[in-house]
Amino acid sequence: MLTIHHLGKSQSERIVWLCEKLGLPYELKCYARDPVTILAPPEYKALHPAGTAPVIADGDVVLAESGAVVEYILAKYGAGRLALGPEHPDFATYLYWFHFSNGNLQPNMGRNMVLRRLDLAPDNAVVRAMKGRLDHALAMLETRLGEAEYLAGPFTAADVMTVFSLTTMRIFMPLDLAPYPNILAYLQRIGGREGYRRAMAKGDPDLVPLLT
């Protein structure tokens, strides 16, 4: 059986959601962040050399990095669900949006978060450049979600990978989504999905998902 080591308010929520959606049996072990540093506790960091969330265990396999974990679970237990294969006409679209969050949106949010904490002037050249990159990433999402109900067309693991950045990540990097009505409508659709609701209730029961 899979063991999901879930760090509260982290990207490991993706893995809980994925397993709930697939109906896979799993053991959930939850860890709280340090109340002062907001970092993972030592026992979580000891699970894998990366020291970051998520981490899963599957027999002798211990795996980190959310994209790798999602691909591993889909390949081993997905039975073709939540992924589009090479024969599908939207395969390339699926691949692009699957990797978009961790390759584009999430890093840009992280950079902007750090710059905010440095309290630099708004007209600082680096601040302007990084804000521009984040705005561009959000604009791309807004456009796509005006074309399709979900990122690859049907609901897929691309959505599982992306929603954290638009919701829980905003605890650490506040972001006004009012200028993006398609993204907000998308988050409402996500919030109505039973698998997502079960996952958030199990992994972060004290957190109200940021769907607005």
**DSSP of the chain, one letter per residue?**
-EEEEEETTSTTHHHHHHHHHHT--EEEEEEPPPTTT-SPPHHHHTTSTT--S-EEEETTEEEE-HHHHHHHHHHHH-TTTT---TTSTTHHHHHHHHHHIIIIIHHHHHHHHHHHHHT--TT-HHHHHHHHHHHHHHHHHHHHHHH-SBTTBS--HHHHHHHHHHTGGGGTS----TT-HHHHHHHHHHHT-HHHHHHHHHH-TT------
**Residue 40 scores a pLDDT above 90:** yes
Q: Is residue 209 part of a domain?
A: no
The tens digit of pLDDT for each residue in 86-143 reads 999 999 999 999 999 999 999 999 999 999 999 899 889 999 999 999 999 999 999 9
Q: Is residue 14 part of a domain?
A: yes
Q: Is residue 208 part of a domain?
A: no
**Do residue 74 and residue 111 come from a single domain?**
no
Q: How many domains does the chain have?
A: 2
**Residue 12 scores a pLDDT above 90:** yes
- The percentage of the chain sitting over the pLDDT mark of 70, rounded to a whole number, equals 100
**Do residue 95 and residue 128 come from a single domain?**
yes
- CA neighbor of 69 nearest in space, from 142, 3, 163: 3
**Do residue 114 and residue 152 come from a single domain?**
yes
The tens digit of pLDDT for each residue in 50-85 reads 999 999 999 999 999 999 999 999 999 999 999 999
**Do residue 11 and residue 57 come from a single domain?**
yes
pLDDT of residue 122: 87
**Do residue 108 and residue 186 come from a single domain?**
yes
Average pLDDT over residues 29-48: 92
**Do residue 74 and residue 114 come from a single domain?**
no
**Do residue 119 and residue 63 come from a single domain?**
no
Q: Domain range spanning residue 151? A: 91-193
Q: Is residue 129 part of a domain?
A: yes
Using CA atoms, how far apart are residues 202 and 76, in angstroms rounded to an integer? 23
- CA neighbor of 163 nearest in space, from 96, 86, 101: 101
Q: Say which CATH number the domain at 44 has.
A: 3.40.30.10
**Do residue 163 and residue 77 come from a single domain?**
no
Inter-residue contact 173 to 190 (CB < 8 Å): no
**Do residue 120 and residue 147 come from a single domain?**
yes
**Do residue 43 and residue 109 come from a single domain?**
no
Q: Is residue 45 part of a domain?
A: yes
Q: Is residue 212 part of a domain?
A: no
